[in-house]
Amino acid sequence: MESEAVCFELQGMERAPESWRTWVWGMSSTHRFSALVFPVHAKRSEYELYGSGISKLEIRRIEGDEITFNWDRGLDIPAQDEGTRQLKESLCQMLAYRIFGRPVT
């Protein structure tokens, strides 16, 4: 079963001057997120979330400010609800493209 894409808005971006790594933050209608994204795949695939270029991702429910997902070069907190899972999947599919204008290579 394929999940429905979740719309999200990027609210900020900070690219590190010495590298291609980029911190981004934004929100959907029910959650906010921050992520560290790279335009290339990690040398160690287990540090990257589903081949997405994302090495760190925190998702919080807006109501209550509860962390509902956390990945820091590995899974720390699994998705706590369906909305979080759908946002995580949408970010994995689209975030690098929105930042770098192309998929992760």
Q: Is 5 a member of any domain?
A: no
Q: Is 2 a member of any domain?
A: no
Residue span of the structural domain in which 81 resides: 16-100
DSSP code string of 14-59: EE-TTSS-EEEEEE-SSEEEEEEE-SS--SSGGGSSTTSSEEEEEE
Confidence at 2, pLDDT banded by 50, 70, 90: very low
In total, how many domains does the chain have?
1
- Please give the model's pTM, rounded to 2 decimal places: 0.89
Q: Is 65 a member of any domain?
A: yes
Q: Is 43 a member of any domain?
A: yes
Q: Is 31 a member of any domain?
A: yes
Compute the Cα dihedral for 86, 91, 97, 98 and give only its sign: positive
Closest to 31 measured CA to CA, from 60, 4, 69: 60
Other beta carbons within 10 Å of 103: 13
Query: Mean pLDDT of all residues in the chain?
Result: 91
Q: Name the residue with higher pLDDT: 56 or 6.
A: 56
